[in-house]
Amino acid sequence: MLETWRWYGQFDGITLPEIAQTGAAGIVTALHEIPYGEIWPRDAIAARKAQIMAAGFTWSVVESLPVHEDIKRGTDDLDRLFANYRQSMANLAAEGLQVICYNFMPLLDWTRTELAAPVARGGTCLRFSAERMAAFEIHILGRAAAVDDYPEDVRARAAIWFQQASQEDRDQLLDAIMSGLPGAFDRYDINGLKDALHNYDGIDRKALRANYKRFLSEVIPTAADLGIRMCVHPDDPPRNILGLPRIVSDADDLLWIADAFDHPANGFTLCSGSLGANPRNDVPAIARTVAERIHFAHLRNVKKFPDGSFEEAAHLDGDTDMVALISVLMDEENRRRSEGRPDDVIPFRPDHGHVLLSDFDRDLVPGYPLIGRLRGLAEIRGVIHAIGTS
Ligand code: DNO
């Protein structure tokens, strides 16, 4: 397993020399400053790579090369966007980058309702409260159909939360929901979000799948030619929100994707926290099912609640058996090694982390503190070491 660390470049308060002290060997980053849909120029990629290498790292994974909303929505003329995407891939490959993470979530990337929920012994975590999400959808956004997405008791508590919430509480909720777009250009206010949602009118699961299949057929052949491994990130959370379809949420979805363009270059980011937020998902079992196509792993844990809420637990706490999951990934590495495959070391990063200790004194990208992730990395490193030497 290759230890990597996500770094947001100029949007990150954590510096490369600080990251070096975590012991991670690889950097996961993107040209976050380039608007979605534009070509990533080769010289900009080369400059970022040089900066990373000068600090003693490799640039191990590109996360993300974003897929433009028009591709997800399947609007009419997509030739330019597909050509741009392929050109960015070619420019990345020319600089030696081979693993590209992306997602196919409509509109929003990861979604939480609280960015600083308290954890038991001090520190804070990211939380998704079904009640607050329902309050947002039903009472703030006024999305009538949302009542079908939440059970009655959650709707009742949502109504009470909304009545008691101050304007500041409501603003904070919107801010939390929008925070999954670090470095991105689209951030919405309520009206903007309503408009953006209208653009998805009529796009159901079937239509989104068709658009995704088209994307795969446009880019995977290029990836195969360039020696690039594409790895889609699962939906976070893996459930319907805002009435948008979700098509990367469970084992069936992943198998559908693998089959939609059957080539090893069409692979997955195994994100244990995203998949783990759905009570029906057995994450180690899913990993075993798609092991051959896992090109990258995000390791973190979640604790789920009966009403559909969940919060981010410490990396070895929570509902997912992290030791079992890491064993699956290491077995897969061994299998690849026995076949003499070059991709026999799977890059992973400690995904998210609690805000702990001196994390409170600095500007952070939500979910990406220094000390909390350092703790997660150290714990995971211990598990890997123990499995590797047992
Ligand atoms: C959240 C991340 C996601 C991920 C993208 C990949 O912390 O795991 O934002 O980077 O969905 O495209």
| 145-162 pLDDT, tens digit each | 999 999 999 999 999 999
Of 132, 165, 197, the residue that ends a domain is 197
**Residue 207 alpha carbon to ligand 1 centre in Å:** 23
- Backbone torsions φ then ψ of 329, nearest 5 degrees: -65, -40
Residue from 233, 270, 315 to probe ligand 1 pocket by mutation (most atoms less than 8 Å from CB): 233
Average pLDDT over residues 63-81: 95
In a domain, 315, yes or no: no
Structure confidence at residue 181 (pLDDT): 65
* Chain segment 21-50, per-residue pLDDT in tens: 999 999 999 999 999 999 999 999 999 999
Residue 298 is among the residues annotated as catalytic for this protein: yes
Long-range pairs, 207-211, Cβ under 8 A, ≥24: 207/74, 207/245, 208/72, 208/104, 208/106, 208/245, 208/247, 209/247, 209/256, 209/260, 210/74, 211/71, 211/72, 211/73, 211/74
In a domain, 312, yes or no: no
Contacts of 299 (CB under 8 A, 6+ apart): 272, 315, 322, 325, 326, 348, 349, 350, 351, 376, 380
Residue 233 is among the residues annotated as catalytic for this protein: yes
370-389 and 322-338 are packed helices; what angle lies between their axes, rounded to 10 degrees? 60
390 pLDDT band, cuts 50/70/90, is: confident
Nearest to 328 by CA among 294, 272, 295, 288: 288
Q: Which atom of ligand 1 is least distant from the CA of 64?
A: 12
Measured distance CA(287)–CA(279) in Å, rounded: 16
Residue 352 is among the residues annotated as catalytic for this protein: yes
In a domain, 262, yes or no: yes
Measured distance CA(203)–CA(217) in Å, rounded: 20
CATH number, domain containing residue 244: 3.20.20.150
Q: How many domains does the chain have?
A: 2
In a domain, 31, yes or no: yes
Residue 385 is among the residues annotated as catalytic for this protein: no
Q: 0.85 exceeded by the pTM?
A: yes
Cβ < 6 A, ligand 1 pocket: 63-64, 101-103, 109-110, 180, 233, 271, 298, 351-352, 367
Please check whether residues 159 and 221 belong to one and the same domain.
no
Per the listing, tokens 């995000």 go with 298
Maximum alpha-carbon separation in the chain: 62
Residue 271 is among the residues annotated as catalytic for this protein: yes
pLDDT exceeds 80 at position 187? no
Nearest to 67 by CA among 197, 186, 150, 164: 186
Average pLDDT over residues 197-222: 97
**Residue 5 alpha carbon to ligand 1 centre in Å:** 13
Please check whether residues 171 and 271 belong to one and the same domain.
no
pLDDT exceeds 80 at position 186? no
Residue from 63, 212, 270 to probe ligand 1 pocket by mutation (most atoms less than 8 Å from CB): 63
Please check whether residues 167 and 230 belong to one and the same domain.
no
The Cβ of residue 385 has, within 10 Å, a number of other Cβ atoms equal to 10
β 301-304/310-313 pair status:
antiparallel
Catalytic member of 233, 295, 315, 354:
233
C-beta separation of 32 from 368 below 8 A: no
| Percent of all residues in the chain with a pLDDT value above 70, rounded to a whole number | 98
Of 197, 226, 251, the residue that ends a domain is 197
- Domain region containing 237: 2-108+201-301+320-389
Task: Indicate the helix (H) or strand (E) that contains 386.
Answer: helix 370-389
Compute the C-alpha angle 49/52/57, nearest 5°.
115
Q: Which atom of ligand 1 is least distant from the CA of 103?
A: 12
pLDDT exceeds 80 at position 185? no
Q: Which atom of ligand 1 is least distant from the CA of 66?
A: 12
* Chain segment 292-325, per-residue pLDDT in tens: 999 999 999 999 999 999 999 999 999 999 999 9
The Cβ of residue 137 has, within 10 Å, a number of other Cβ atoms equal to 22
In a domain, 306, yes or no: no
